[in-house]
Amino acid sequence: MKHAKHLMPLFVPLLLSACAEATVLEARAVGARDAATRGGAVPLLEVLSPDASIRVEVSLGAEAPTYRIDRLGRDVILPSKLGFVFKEGGALAPALKIASSSRAAFDETWTQPWGEKKDIRNHYHELRIDFEETTARPRRMTVTFRVFDDGVGFRYEIPAQERIGAFEIMDELTEFALAGNYAAWWIPAFQPDRFEYLYQRSRVEDLGIVHTPLTMEAGDDLALSIHEAALYDWASMTLENRGKYRLKAVLVPWSDGVLVRGTAPHRSPWRTIQIAEDPGALITSYLILNLNEPNALGDVSWVRPSKYVGIWWAMHLGISTWSSGPKHGATTAHTKRYIDFAARHGIPRVLVEGWNIGWDTDWTAKEDNFKFSTPYPDFDIEEIARYGAERGVRLIGHHETGGDVSNYERQMNTAFEFCNRYGIDAVKTGYVRWGQGISRVDETGAVRKEWHHGQYMVRHYQAVVEEAARHKVGINVHEPIKDTGIRRTWPNMMSREGARGMEYNAWGGNGGNPPEHETILPFTRLLSGPMDFTPGIFGLLFGDIRPANRVNTTLAKQLALYVVIYSPLQMAADLPGNYDNNLAAFKFIEDVPVDWQDTKVLHAKIGDYITIVRQDRNSDEWYLGSITDESGRTLEAPLDFLAPGVKYVAEIYRDAEGTDWEENPLAIEITRRIAESSDALKLRLAPGGGQAIRFRPAAAEERGDISPLDK
């Protein structure tokens, strides 16, 4: 299996200017003065962000090297350990010295082929430190810090050396010693449902072992999130509370307890700390993308962001089945009906689940179950592909592995060749495995169970992305490894699940996702990257089908989610019949893009409300999405993001008077007004509600026929 570290370009331009050199010297002087004032040891090395707001200091501690971070003179991370413990040779500590160091500054603006923002500035100051043991036969380790105006990334490198060849890491010493008992939003790690838990809010002192991104607030003027970037051939990182607000990296192990296996030279993912004045600025931080390498695929015009519909929601409601039989969803006739609906409404793709052999047994327990190029007899793939092509609609493939990774890897090349044969240029993969772990066959032929997020699966997920790229297929992963920004390098890695999505409303405990859920996701899970949340349910109440469940939002909030929750693949997830019954509201789903020029956050309070506006990449239109939790509220949105001097038609989809997610969720009011950049709009959000707006430049004949915006 090839790994990305062998294929990724090693392009790291180093542009050290006289200005940057002066900044570094100033940082060292200020750092020394501040350390003396605090009564601590003078740091050995310091580096500032380009705007000098964030500073990193590195020292040799008594037990291990340490780093600390402050922002505008305020402590964010107190001295925190760095390093590893190897199976052979033990820890690279405490007998270390700094053998050498180097500095660099870098500033570029690069263009995403698709994304939530087209042009991204990548501007940082870098400090690279070579540590060496003070022993007769020293081992070496390099730590590189990149300091941005919006946070810090650091990673380890184990260089080629005589003392370390093949290695096994038993512990990573990395710490994040927080400067206070911050408010934190988190989900537990090492649990059977992976990332699919409701976020909880607590103080840092009450955390156990949690997943990243871990987002925190320290009062009204500091927000931060800890995560990682460029996760390749390493175990994913969780965080464990070790007391006194100190979080330690805990890597997800192999089945035998080893954390990371490798051969020098080898490097870790970046450990990231995004830092902002308010939580909304975390959303528009692109630090994680910037810490990934540039596009490795060249021309990726074949990677096509789009909306899609699919044979999926009916299965979660129990109306249809994945397995064959009288309720089988993935039939030729049923698929054609979805293709017809998609063609009528300009939706270019249809997802079909349950099309292939393997669903008729206990597919989460049986090994070697699924066949990825063998349809059920009632699914005529040739006829369906022909029928869709005539109407401009492609299929999205579905590869559910049932957690049997060895079975999938044996078939993977054939499976993607099958996709090429039938014009399928995007695939949704799945790794459902309840409480049993991922199955792999080791070199002895024994079946072992691995975590979804250990190094073995990190390698596997990457192998799928690379195999798909060779066949020019985009990937949407469910039950995934966490997103760490690799879409910059591998743009066919388009979207993933990795949180509680819409499906939990169909069958989840406690009646599904509570109204606050979607007001937390943008500040937590979505900081890592796009999510296939599958919004757009119009049939919010399930009646006798699922009497204990429902979708806990208003209809207008379902529309707003297309702007608030970013994905280049956005599903119109409901049954076509529910859309046919409300085509006026469905018009917003038809119109809303999935590829953006720019993104701005107008309102942001974690777990309460959020308003996001995005500019279409392919027109002069803007779209607004605003949502709230169970509390109704009114927010004022300045429209200064619109082009000055241009009149826009604001097509407004909002909660009607008296709308409430519990008692009256379906009432929606659709109006049009003329709006300008000098206007401010009052957003009235019902309890559990939202508002979605399309702003399009007004045609001349409309400007006098439509009333001005209600102020």
Residues serving a catalytic function are: 503
Q: How many residues does the chain have?
A: 711
Which amino acid does the sequence have at 24? V
Q: Residue 147's Cα: distance from chain center in Å?
A: 22
Q: Residue 570's Cα: distance from chain center in Å?
A: 14
User: Distance between CA atoms of 687 and 696, rounded to whole angstroms?
Assistant: 28
User: Distance between CA atoms of 599 and 582, rounded to whole angstroms?
Assistant: 29
User: Distance between CA atoms of 271 and 294, rounded to whole angstroms?
Assistant: 19
CA end-to-end distance (rounded Å), the chain: 60
3-state secondary structure of 413: helix
Strands 474-477 and 493-496: parallel
**Structure tokens, 142:** 């390099």
User: Distance between CA atoms of 542 and 549, rounded to whole angstroms?
Assistant: 7
Q: Which residues contact 658 (CB under 8 A, 6 or more apart)?
A: 664, 667
CA distances 351 to 246, 313, 341, 534, 622, Å, are 45, 11, 13, 12, 28
User: How many beta carbons lie within 10 A of that of residue 208, not counting itself?
Assistant: 13
User: How many beta carbons lie within 10 A of that of residue 683, not counting itself?
Assistant: 25
Residue pointed to by tokens 């009607």: 656
User: Distance between CA atoms of 652 and 706, rounded to whole angstroms?
Assistant: 13
Largest Cα–Cα separation, the chain: 85
3-state secondary structure of 501: coil
Residue pointed to by tokens 């296996």: 261
Element (H, E) at 7: helix 4-7
* Inter-residue contact 188 to 210 (CB < 8 Å): yes
Q: Which residues contact 198 (CB under 8 A, 6 or more apart)?
A: 187, 500, 513, 514, 517
User: How many beta carbons lie within 10 A of that of residue 548, not counting itself?
Assistant: 11
Q: What are phi and psi of 650, to 5 degrees?
A: -95, 110
Asked if omega into 50 is within 30° of 0 (cis), the reply is no
Give the closest residue to 500 by CA, choosing from 199, 91, 175: 199
